[in-house]
Structure 1
Amino acid sequence: MTAVARVRAAERSDLSRVAELAAAHAEYERAAPPVPDLAERLAVLLFDTPAPRLCCLVAETAGGEVVGYATCSPEFSTWEGREYLYLDCLFLTPGHRGLGLGALLMDAVTDRARDLGLSEVQWQTPAWNDGAIRFYARLGALGTDKRRFSLHVSS
């Protein structure tokens, strides 16, 4: 494993780096880039909201470099009549994959679920992302086949 100082909650000063990592994440997943003002939007959601739902965790090397992030928030399952923690993003820079950092981020996410009294974490990954699928399977996660849709709503 790489020398990782810690996985910790993101601070306001981390958000420009998180936005850079989100752009790399979007490129990796062959998606459109994040909005240009992502760091500012995240600041509002994480720090300028009285009761923030969003949690952002960062993986930081011993040298203080932020090399990965995970974001999650509570969501609701109608079929089960309960909340769960939705892991929206988990990303590590290519040079820091396979070193145990993903597991540390997932441990921090599951700790967050426990802190909120939630018994499950759910997430998705592209069907072609074999590395991520193998990683999640090693953690004991179970996959389901679904397609994600989005519908843009004009104001």
Structure 2
Amino acid sequence: MSDRDGGDGRAAVRRARAEDLGRIVELVAEHAEYEKAAPPTPDLAPRLAILLFGEGARGDELPGRPGPGGELPRLRCFVAELPDGSLAGYATCAPELSTWDGVAYLHMDCLYLTSTARGHGLGPLLIDAVRAEARALGLTEIQWQTPAWNEGAIRFYDRLGATSKEKRRYTLPVDPA
């Protein structure tokens, strides 16, 4: 997908594969801790497997491509892979709709790099992968949010030329039917 010379080899950003799932779950837990949020649910791995690879995915399908039933997975995930093969970050995204604009856009739900991977050019590579996904889906905009206290992320997004809107995000639990 894309790569960058890390000095001692090439770091790359690529689509997540089924064998990456365990490390992605670890990165999600690190991300939640970094954002001072509750830890992920204990059954995150099987939930993500369905969202990333589709219902009934065997793990040998190409992620982001139609699964056994012909459906595209709801969630797309890109991983930052270091020259040694370890994963140092991820970005996830999914198509969403804007009522006000009357168009679909790509919502980037998460972008996270481990503290040691920041500042080495992997963030822009992850953003490039998300941009390419939006382009492939025929979408003309990416939207996301970051905590107001995350000044490093805000500086990064500002350098990309992104604009921000002040809003608060709410969640409301729904009781099972």
TM-score calculated relative to the size of structure 1: 0.97
Q: Name the counterpart of 2:95.
A: 74
Identity of aligned residues (%): 61
Instruction: Return the match for 2:21 from 15, 21, 28.
Output: 15
Say yes or no: does 1:143 pair with 2:161.
Answer: no
Instruction: Return the match for 1:93 from 97, 114, 118.
Output: 114
Q: Name the counterpart of 1:130.
A: 151
CA distance in 2, matches of 1:29, 1:18: 16
Q: Name the counterpart of 2:123.
A: 102
Instruction: Return the match for 1:28 from 9, 23, 34.
Output: 34
**Pairwise CA RMSD:** 1.0
Instruction: Return the match for 1:64 from 58, 79, 85.
Output: 85
Letter in 1 for 2:42: P
Say yes or no: does 1:44 pair with 2:65.
Answer: no
CA distance in 2, matches of 1:110, 1:5: 19
Letter in 2 for 1:119: T
The 8 Å contact of residues 4 and 59 in structure 1, kept in 2 or not, is answered as: no
Q: Which runs of 4+ in 1 moved over 2 A?
A: 1-5, 48-51
Write the deviation string for residues 117-137 of structure 1: whole angstroms up to 9, x where unpaired.
000000000000000000000
CA distance in 2, matches of 1:80, 1:48: 29
Letter in 2 for 1:90: L
Letter in 2 for 1:67: A
Q: Structure 2: 5+ residue runs without aligned partners?
A: 56-70
Q: Secondary structure, in 3 states, of the residue corresponding to 1:76?
A: strand
The 8 Å contact of residues 54 and 74 in structure 2, kept in 1 or not, is answered as: no
Aligned length: 155
Letter in 2 for 1:136: Y
CA distance in 1, matches of 2:101, 2:39: 34
Q: Secondary structure, in 3 states, of the residue corresponding to 1:14?
A: helix
CA distance in 2, matches of 1:101, 1:53: 24
Shift of 1:51: 2.3
Shift of 1:37: 1.7
